[in-house]
């Protein structure tokens, strides 16, 4: 079975005026067809629906076109359809004008789901057998397996109706709601509207979780602004959750005989939404403060998680909108540059180079095993992978039809390049900071005479250096050797032992043929005198 790929999110009915002659009108029809935009109707200016609205002009023709494109539905969606018409006019060299746009609403209704069941088991409900049968009925003991959707009366009639090629009509069936999402006096919000409401609730809760994490780590008066912001976000989430329940089939107000039940149903739906919001807020707070047996999330971890999520979602939204070669090139070139750069720098073990440079050494002198070079390269590629945040933000901006993402605008390329360069530059700073912090930890360990941390296969260890020749005859580089105190040893390169001299804050290199290296357990103690 062939799966049809989704080709658009929004449909906007657009009234387009094309000026020129017959050839221009024919070309306009062709370009609309090439874009797979149906022409619903066409007529001369001042004719048809435009009679009495626009002046008659034989050199102008009106097309009612259904413009289809990807993106969100918001206040800029109809304007985005006009942007696409103007871009099409420039590429086709036609005189086109957007005279009116109207969004085609296609939000699907969520229908209640009912399961059909038999009714022969029903007896006098006042007897024990009748009550037991009712309980078993609610638990699905007498279900027939078929499902009907709609209002209760529609579902009951649909369950009893026969289907061509299926079972015949069965008038003895009844239905029960499953699952009970709404109520008989309520109707569910439409699918897209429900998703938007749910997104607003989770958006408030995410900001609340971040501010609570900042409140937990902040000190002094700085904590209280975070607490106020977090309480405000919680209130916003609860209000959205209470309003995001099912909407009444009829107005909840009024003074008719059914007004009181409708008001009770409205209050019950709002209460269910409020309870759901409280439960969701409790789950988010548990993630921030940590569940039993787990550790709480820090604001940095939440930011990194949010950046990764935004990157994945943004790249996916960007890829959905690749419809022309220009969009493919402007989007894939930065992605390819990021990938190639990541592979090149990973093969060159850039992090080891930065670490060695901070210690006045070279990567060759450190002699790092290949497996650890791959690990350091993977770490750097993970940094560069965040460089995709730039294209991802661009994809999100295009999805929500921000004005600076207008198709065909030259300023787009400038904004895009500046955004991408800024993100990559900040990520290069992350790599430099990673190596600089590792060098600082190593130098601090040498000054405090304690075990030094490792860095992607570089394992500094404390050792005593015992010369096997007179001290005056040592061919050392970087200072004079003191056999009475231990040195931090980085390895051997070109028959030279690489040590760190705390007196000069520089490497000390000793010929391995003129010294004996003796590992020590306690670097705080002086080295024993050489034996023999």
Across the range 461-471, mean pLDDT stands at 83
Q: What per-residue confidence (pLDDT) applies to 524?
A: 79
Q: Give the model confidence (pLDDT) of 476-512 as tens digits.
A: 777 777 787 888 888 787 788 888 877 777 888 888 8
Any bridge partners for residue 66, and if so which? 13
How many helices (H) and strands (E) would you count in the chain? Answer: 14, 14
- Give the percent of the chain with pLDDT over 70: 78
**Exposure string (b/e) for 216-240, b if CB count within 10 Å is 16 or more?**
eebeeeeeeebeebbeebbebbbbb
Query: What local confidence, expressed as pLDDT, does residue 519 receive?
Result: 83
Q: Two tokens at 176?
A: 């029960």
Distance CA 106, CA 109 (A): 9
Give the pLDDT confidence score for residue 68 in this predicted structure: 93
Lowest mean pLDDT among 270-274, 409-413, 457-461: 409-413
pLDDT in tens, 126-149: 666 667 777 777 787 778 877 778
**Rounded-to-integer distance, Cα 10 and Cα 88, Å:** 18
pLDDT digits (tens, 9 = 90+) for 204-250: 888 888 888 888 888 888 888 888 998 898 888 888 887 765 555 55
Q: How far apart are CA 393 and CA 397, in angstroms?
A: 6
Residue 3 vs residue 364, higher pLDDT: 364
Q: Which two tokens stand for residue 372?
A: 């650890």
What is the spatial distance between Cα 368 and Cα 428, in angstroms, rounded to a whole number? Answer: 22
More confident residue, 373 or 523: 523
Task: Write the CB contacts of 260 (distance below 8 Å, at least 6 apart in sequence).
Answer: none
Q: Which of 22-31, 291-300, 431-440 has the lowest mean pLDDT?
A: 291-300
| Model pLDDT for residues 247-306, shown as the tens digit of each residue | 555 544 455 555 566 666 667 777 777 787 788 888 777 766 665 555 677 787 788 788
Mean pLDDT of all residues belonging to the chain: 79
Q: What are phi and psi of 344, to 5 degrees?
A: -65, -50
Report whether pLDDT(5) > 70.
no
pLDDT for residue 513: 81
Tokens standing for residue 20: 């020129």
> Is residue 371 over pLDDT 70?
yes
Could you tell me the CA-to-CA distances from 127 to 122, 131, 176, 463 in Å, in that order? 11, 6, 22, 91
Q: With pLDDT > 90 as the criterion, what percentage of the chain qualifies?
A: 16
Whether the full predicted model's pTM is greater than 0.75, yes or no, is no
What would the mean pLDDT of 64-92 be, rounded to a whole number? 92
Helix, strand, coil percentages, rounded to 5, for the chain: 50, 20, 30
Output 409 or 52, whichever has higher pLDDT. 52
């Amino acid at each position: 079975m062939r799966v049809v790929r989704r080709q658009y999110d929004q449909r906007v009915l657009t009234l387009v005026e094309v000026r020129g002659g017959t050839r221009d009108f024919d070309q306009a029809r062709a370009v609309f067809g090439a874009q797979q935009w149906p022409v619903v109707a066409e007529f001369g200016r001042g004719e048809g629906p435009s009679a009495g609205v626009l002046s008659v002009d034989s050199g102008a023709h009106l097309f009612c076109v259904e413009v289809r494109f990807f993106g969100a539905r918001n206040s800029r969606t109809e304007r985005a359809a006009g942007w696409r018409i103007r871009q099409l006019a420039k590429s086709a060299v036609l005189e086109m004008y957007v005279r009116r746009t109207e969004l085609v609403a296609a939000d699907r209704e969520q229908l209640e789901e009912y399961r059909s069941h038999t009714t022969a088991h029903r007896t006098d409900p006042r007897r024990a057998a009748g009550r037991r049968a009712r309980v078993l009925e609610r638990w699905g003991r007498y279900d027939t397996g078929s499902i009907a959707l709609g209002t209760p009366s529609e579902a009951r009639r649909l369950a009893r109706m026969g289907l061509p090629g299926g079972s015949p009509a069965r008038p003895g069936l009844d239905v029960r709601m499953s699952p009970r999402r709404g109520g008989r006096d309520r109707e569910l919000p439409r699918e897209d509207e429900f998703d938007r409401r749910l997104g607003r609730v989770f958006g408030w809760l995410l900001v609340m979780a971040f501010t609570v994490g900042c409140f937990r780590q902040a000190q002094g008066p700085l904590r209280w602004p975070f607490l106020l912001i977090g309480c405000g976000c919680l209130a916003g989430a609860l209000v959205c959750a209470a309003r995001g329940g099912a909407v009444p089939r009829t107005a909840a107000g009024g003074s008719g005989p059914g007004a009181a039940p409708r008001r009770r149903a409205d209050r019950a739906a709002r209460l269910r939404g409020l309870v759901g919001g409280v439960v969701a807020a409790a789950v988010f707070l548990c993630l921030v403060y940590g569940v039993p047996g787990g550790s709480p999330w820090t604001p940095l971890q939440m930011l990194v998680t949010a950046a990764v999520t935004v990157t994945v979602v943004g790249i996916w939204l960007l890829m959905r909108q690749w419809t022309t070669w220009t969009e493919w090139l402007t989007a894939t070139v930065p992605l390819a540059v990021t990938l190639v750069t990541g592979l090149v720098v990973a093969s060159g073990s850039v992090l080891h180079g930065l670490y060695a440079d901070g210690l006045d050494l070279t990567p060759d002198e450190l002699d790092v095993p290949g497996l650890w070079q791959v690990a350091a390269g993977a770490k750097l590629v993970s940094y560069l992978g965040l460089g995709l945040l730039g294209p991802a933000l661009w994809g999100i901006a295009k999805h929500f039809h921000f004005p600076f993402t207008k198709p065909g605008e030259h300023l787009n390329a400038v904004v895009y390049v500046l955004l991408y360069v800024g993100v990559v530059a900040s990520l290069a700073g992350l790599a430099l900071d990673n190596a600089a912090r590792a060098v600082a930890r190593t130098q601090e360990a040498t000054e405090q005479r304690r075990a030094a941390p490792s860095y992607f296969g570089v394992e500094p260890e404390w050792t005593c250096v015992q010369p096997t020749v007179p001290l005056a005859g040592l061919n050392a580089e970087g200072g004079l050797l003191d056999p009475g105190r231990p040195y931090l040893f980085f390895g051997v390169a070109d028959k030279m032992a690489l040590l760190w001299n705390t007196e000069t804050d520089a490497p000390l290199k000793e010929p391995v043929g003129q010294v004996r290296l003796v590992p020590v357990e306690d670097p705080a103690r002086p080295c024993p005198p050489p034996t023999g």
